[in-house]
Amino acid sequence: MRIAWVLLTLALATGAHTQSAGSKMTPEMYRQMLKDMQYWNAQGTRYDEIRKRANALYPDRRNTPLRDVNISDGEIREVEAISRKYLPQAYVNISPVVTHCPCEEGPMCTAQVYVVAQTADKTRGLQLSQMKGRWEVGAVQQWWLRREDIVRQHTGNQFLDEYLYEKAVHEIYEEFPVCADQVMPASQAASATPTPQEETRKK
């Protein structure tokens, strides 16, 4: 990824516009792409810290510290109802209820469970957090669902494809949940400007 990013930066800086015949990319759009990438590079240390924290909190089964009273029948029905919106209709396994939520979940989080749905060919999991006595998809799990939805586009322009992917990734880093007692550095995010693809649609 680092090598591809460097090559893309060099290509944009030298004006190498290898694009499809029907592309309407302009030099101004390429300059905006380069400007955005320079911003992302300047924020590299902060983005690395966000990435590390996100990976450390990747939703998974936890077995400690256990809640004094494990999940009730009513909670099981609530958890299963939520899980059906996100997981395959398959056998569902619910982990023990644990306490001590990460601070990114917010001060109202009191417990978490990890739900696994298993089919013949795949297994998918979902982390739920309990807020004010009700189970819901927590902030970190919601973030990871959005992060994993990011895919590369196929516009016919390899530079634009790489740029749009990097833009989506860095935008999602800016949205990573922050602990209530932390203040993130002020961001002049590149996402505030229209993407070259959006500019193209306007023409």
- What integer pLDDT is reported at residue 124 of this predicted model? 92
Identify the bridge partners of residue 128 per DSSP, sorted by sequence position. Answer: 113, 137
Give yes or no for a contact between 137 and 85, defined as CB atoms under 8 angstroms apart. Answer: no
Average pLDDT, rounded, for the chain:
84
- Tell me the pTM: 0.79
What is the tens place of the pLDDT at every residue in 27-76? 888 888 889 999 999 999 999 999 999 999 999 999 999 999 999 999 99
Q: Which is it for strands 134-137 and 109-118: parallel, antiparallel or unpaired?
A: unpaired
Distance (Å, whole) CA 109 – CA 101:
6
Report which of 72, 138, 75, 144 is spatially closest to residue 109, judged by C-alpha positions: 138
Confidence of residue 187 (pLDDT cuts 50, 70, 90): very low
Q: Tell me which DSSP letter residue 104 carries.
A: G
- What integer pLDDT is reported at residue 67 of this predicted model? 97
Report which of 130, 120, 26, 34 is spatially closest to residue 78, judged by C-alpha positions: 130
